[in-house]
Amino acid sequence: MEHISVLLDEAIEMLDIRKDGVYVDCTLGRGGHSSEILKRIPEGHLYAFDLDQSAIDESRKRLEEIGENFTLIHAPFEEFNARLDELQVGQVDGILMDLGVSSPQFDDPERGFSYRYDARLDMRMDQNQPLDAYTIVNTYPKEELLRVLREYGEEPNAGRIVAGILKAREQKPVETTFELVDVIKESLPAAILRKKGHPAKQTFQALRMEVNKELPQLASTLEQGLDRLKPGGRMAVITFHSLEDRIVKQAFAARALPKKVNRRMPIAGNEALHYKLVNKKPITASQAELDANSRAHSAKLRGVERTDEKEEKK
């Protein structure tokens, strides 16, 4: 399936792109957002990160049709500062993060991301890393499996599912996506299986996030990116579930909103803020986009802008 960039127009508008600016796309994917940024910076430069070498190879061709003023970086976006320092990049005008897994990754049966295709349990965005979903399912102890399903999948039936996994792997390793789906279905009562939605959805989400260390990387990269923005520069982040959105919301609020204080306590002085929220409530997909792309349903876009002290004191 062709990847359709979610909230494309809204994200580009939020970045308020300058034609001579320096921009970083932390999640290159198939180049949808990057190509639109590149079109708007004929005198600037684009840096784009991705863990997936196939995504970099495909996007390079797409971007070369627009210009040569870009640099692709095969690395986790958690290495944001280190890689940009290596390239002698200073402060930047804008940063984009489009989180989650791209359609080609979901729809490539060999990648093992989806419960809709039978494949070896994998789920690695970086196929060179050793940790994969197979390793987690077959070697993590009970408490670690429970942590993953509860923390990253918010799975209310984590106990039942983990018990089923432990029982199944005593007989033989759980090797494929369909084998794991069967274990999950066999672990749940009929009343839960009759509910709307696939019973393996939250477990697969949790495993993917554990394999790729998505949330710890996100929190770290947000802090690095916010520090590297120029005054007037913006960061735009698209999330796809509540855990990601909560981390982004809290990171932006910590920089852009005054800390809550006890009104009965004396205040030493006004807190100087160097960031402001671009939007207080997240932007979601229009009905037209929802009709065209079902994967846009859970998408939320938040933005923050770095300001200078003079502007903030007005």
Q: Which residues pair with 47 in a beta bridge?
A: 24, 71
pLDDT tens-digit series, residues 179-207 = 999 999 999 999 999 999 999 999 999 99
Q: Where in the chain is the domain with CATH 3.40.50.150?
A: 8-104+214-312
CATH architecture of the domain formed by 108-212: Orthogonal Bundle (1.10)
Q: Are 148 and 139 in contact (CB under 8 A)?
A: no
pLDDT of residue 1: 44
CA distance 222 to 149: 24
Give this prediction's pTM: 0.87
> What are phi and psi for residue 120, nearest 5 degrees?
-60, 140
- Could you read off the pLDDT of 4-63 as tens digits, one per residue? 789 999 999 999 999 999 999 999 998 999 999 999 999 999 999 998 888 899 999 999
Residue 278, beta-bridge partner list = none
> According to the model, what pLDDT value does residue 262 have?
60
* pLDDT computed for residue 210 by the predictor: 97
Q: What is the number of other CB atoms lying within 10 angstroms of the CB of residue 294?
A: 9
pLDDT at 128: 87
Parallel, antiparallel, or unpaired: how do β-strands 70-74 and 45-50 relate? parallel
Angle formed at CA 242 by CA 285 and CA 143, multiple of 5 degrees: 150
Q: What topology does CATH give the domain 8-104+214-312? A: Rossmann fold (3.40.50)
Tell me the mean pLDDT in the region 263-279.
74
Mean pLDDT of 220-244: 96
Q: What residue spans in the chain does CATH classification 1.10.150.170 cover?
A: 108-212
